[in-house]
């Protein structure tokens, strides 16, 4: 027993030495570059985002991590498309029994990479609750409030339908342009906002659809996730992974007078810099953790978690072997509207798994507290961890300040961050990651209704 205790004490000391390399000055240097005017707000896609990706790849290379891409590359390249639909060339007709409903173009919008031309095609109505019917290769229709969420669409797309119709009583906001994965192979989505159509699907029998739309304008866009791997030290566990992520994009420029570059220092140059800083410190530990760690910075969070969803469709390490994912957001500001956050951070969805509690145990050793925000569960689906959760991976986002002055505003500048506190919190996060990577038992979802979509991934 004395030998075991001595070994644990030595491991603690060595871990502290390595994590001590996380410094305020180093974090400031990283954030001040990522949030500089030179990068013009890191919109997805943009030249500024590309510059950030190159910088991050070089940082991971200097850390000595293993590259994630081919030929020694630290990039996961994704081929997206900037889509501009042609709503004037859209016609939709629903027929059930003797009732025919012609929909005006301003009550419908379609997301598709190709032209669509369907005439009197049978439509399968989706149940509001319970198991989905067999939908592979079929045109399906369901209520937007049930199937139009990211969770609902992910569930549906996984069953490979031919076309998805989502119906609401009123038309929602449609985008004049949007980004989409040009290689996803996912079904087109038609959204209808019309009360008659909504009432029709609730009692539809022998429903048929006619749909005609022209191909949208497509501009290719190459974007990249950036990361590296720290190989685990235990032969029995090194093929299991913990992933530490942050999104490195922001919202770019906005037209107007004055300073209209949205630099995104706290959101989320701070999380990105933290991932790199923690990676560089862990790479210098005398002994690597037992499990492997993938450090990953993601594009397109501000456009709909695009980089995270792309990764879960094209994982670099098996999702079944990924025991946990921790996403970092807004790590540099302490001036939360609910009160100052000094040497503490919080998790979104803290009741959804035992991962926050495990991380808290590690952070405590570094003098960092994990606090519980009363409504933190409500933030669970608002960052990149959500894409991983929908893929079945136990995942949460770590946050220092949830709400602060300057959120998504031009004055989210690097000078406003507390880098000493950021370094302390990052050491706490790193200690938590080490604990999860070394624990024999992997984190588990809580058995609740809220976690059912994540626990029951096919």
**What pLDDT is stored for residue 3 in this prediction?**
41
Residue 9 resides in a domain: no
Q: Counting every residue, how long is the chain?
A: 458
CATH of the domain at 123: 3.50.30
Distance CA 356, CA 330 (A): 17
Residue 42, C-beta contacts closer than 8 angstroms, at least 6 positions apart: 34, 48, 49, 52, 248, 249, 250, 252, 264
Whether residue 390 is found in the same domain as residue 348: yes
**What pLDDT is stored for residue 14 in this prediction?**
44
Distance CA 227, CA 447 (A): 32
Q: pTM of the entire structure?
A: 0.91
Cα–Cα distances in angstroms (integers) from residue 246 to residues 175, 271, 275, in the given order: 26, 5, 7
State the maximum Cα–Cα separation within the chain, in Å, rounded to a whole number.
83
Cα–Cα distances in angstroms (integers) from residue 25 to residues 32, 277, 306, 338, in the given order: 10, 11, 31, 28
Distance CA 458, CA 456 (A): 6
C-alpha 384: how far from chain center: 2
Closest CA to 288 of 21, 65, 72, 75: 65
Residue 406 resides in a domain: yes
156: domain range?
86-215
Residue 3 resides in a domain: no
Whether residue 361 is found in the same domain as residue 230: yes
Is 190:165 a contact under the CB 8 Å cutoff?
yes
CATH of the domain at 341: 3.40.630.10
Residue 7 resides in a domain: no
pLDDT averaged per 10 residues in sequence order, the chain, 458 residues = 42 59 97 98 97 98 95 96 89 87 86 94 87 90 89 89 92 82 91 86 79 94 97 97 98 77 97 98 95 98 96 96 98 95 97 97 96 94 96 98 92 96 98 97 96 88
Whether residue 156 is found in the same domain as residue 260: no
Whether residue 210 is found in the same domain as residue 235: no
Residue 323 resides in a domain: yes
Residue 162 resides in a domain: yes
Residue 312 resides in a domain: yes
Is 252:42 a contact under the CB 8 Å cutoff?
yes
Residue 5 resides in a domain: no
**What pLDDT is stored for residue 451 in this prediction?**
96
Whether residue 267 is found in the same domain as residue 409: yes
Is the bond preceding residue 382 a cis peptide, omega within 30 degrees? no
Whether residue 197 is found in the same domain as residue 237: no
Which of these three, 215, 235, 250, is where a domain ends? 215
Whether residue 73 is found in the same domain as residue 90: no
Q: What 3-state class would DSSP assign to 254?
A: coil
Whether residue 272 is found in the same domain as residue 363: yes
Which of these three, 166, 198, 215, is where a domain ends? 215
Whether residue 421 is found in the same domain as residue 441: yes
Distance CA 299, CA 179 (A): 12
Residue 235, C-beta contacts closer than 8 angstroms, at least 6 positions apart: none
Whether residue 227 is found in the same domain as residue 298: yes
Whether residue 156 is found in the same domain as residue 249: no
Closest CA to 161 of 129, 130, 185, 127: 185
Which of these three, 200, 215, 230, is where a domain ends? 215
Whether residue 203 is found in the same domain as residue 230: no
Our count of domains for the chain comes to: 2
**What pLDDT is stored for residue 8 in this prediction?**
45
Closest CA to 87 of 187, 221, 212, 210: 212
**What pLDDT is stored for residue 458 in this prediction?**
59
């Amino acid at each position: 027993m004395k030998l075991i205790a001595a070994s644990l004490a030595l491991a603690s000391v060595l871990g502290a030495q390595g994590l001590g390399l996380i410094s305020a000055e180093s974090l400031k240097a990283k954030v001040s570059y990522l949030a500089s005017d030179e990068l013009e707000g890191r919109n997805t896609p943009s030249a500024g985002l590309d510059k950030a990706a190159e910088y991050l790849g070089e940082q991971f290379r200097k850390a000595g991590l293993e590259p994630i891409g081919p030929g020694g590359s630290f990039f996961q390249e994704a081929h997206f498309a900037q889509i501009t639909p042609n709503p004037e060339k859209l016609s939709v007709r629903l027929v059930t029994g003797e009732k025919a409903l012609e929909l005006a173009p301003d009550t419908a919008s379609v997301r598709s990479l190709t032209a669509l031309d369907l005439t009197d095609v049978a439509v399968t109505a989706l149940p509001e609750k319970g198991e989905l019917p067999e939908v592979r290769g079929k045109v399906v229709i369901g209520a937007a409030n049930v199937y139009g969420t990211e969770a609902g669409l992910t569930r549906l797309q996984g069953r490979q339908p031919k076309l998805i119709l989502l119906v609401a009583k009123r038309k929602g906001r449609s985008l004049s342009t949007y980004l989409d994965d040009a290689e996803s192979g996912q079904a087109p989505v038609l959204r209808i906002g019309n009360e008659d159509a909504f009432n029709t699907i609730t009692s539809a029998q022998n429903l048929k659809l006619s749909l005609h739309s022209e191909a949208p304008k497509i501009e290719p866009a190459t974007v990249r996730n950036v990361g590296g791997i720290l190989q685990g030290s235990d032969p029995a566990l090194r093929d299991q992974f913990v992933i530490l992520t942050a999104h490195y994009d922001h919202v770019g420029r906005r037209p107007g007078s004055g300073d209209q570059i949205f630099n995104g220092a706290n959101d989320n140059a701070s999380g990105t810099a933290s991932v790199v800083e923690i990676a560089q410190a862990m790479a210098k530990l005398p002994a690597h953790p037992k499990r492997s760690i993938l450090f990953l910075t993601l594009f397109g969070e501000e456009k709909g978690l695009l980089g995270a969803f792309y990764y879960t469709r094209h994982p670099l390490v098996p999702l079944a072997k990924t025991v946990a994912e921790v996403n970092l957001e807004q790590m540099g500001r302490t001036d939360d509207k609910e009160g100052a956050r000094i040497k503490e951070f919080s998790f979104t969805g803290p009741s959804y798994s035992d991962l926050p509690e495990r991380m808290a145990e590690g952070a405590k050793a570094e003098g960092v507290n994990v606090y519980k925000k009363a409504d933190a569960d409500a933030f669970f689906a608002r960052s990149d961890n959500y894409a991983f959760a929908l893929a079945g991976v136990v995942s949460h986002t770590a946050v220092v300040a949830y709400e602060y002055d300057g959120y998504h505003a031009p004055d989210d500048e690097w000078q406003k961050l507390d880098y000493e506190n950021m370094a302390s919190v990052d050491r706490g996060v790193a200690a938590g990651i080490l604990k999860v990577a070394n624990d024999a038992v992997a984190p588990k979802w809580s058995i609740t209704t809220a976690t059912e979509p994540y626990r029951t991934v096919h």
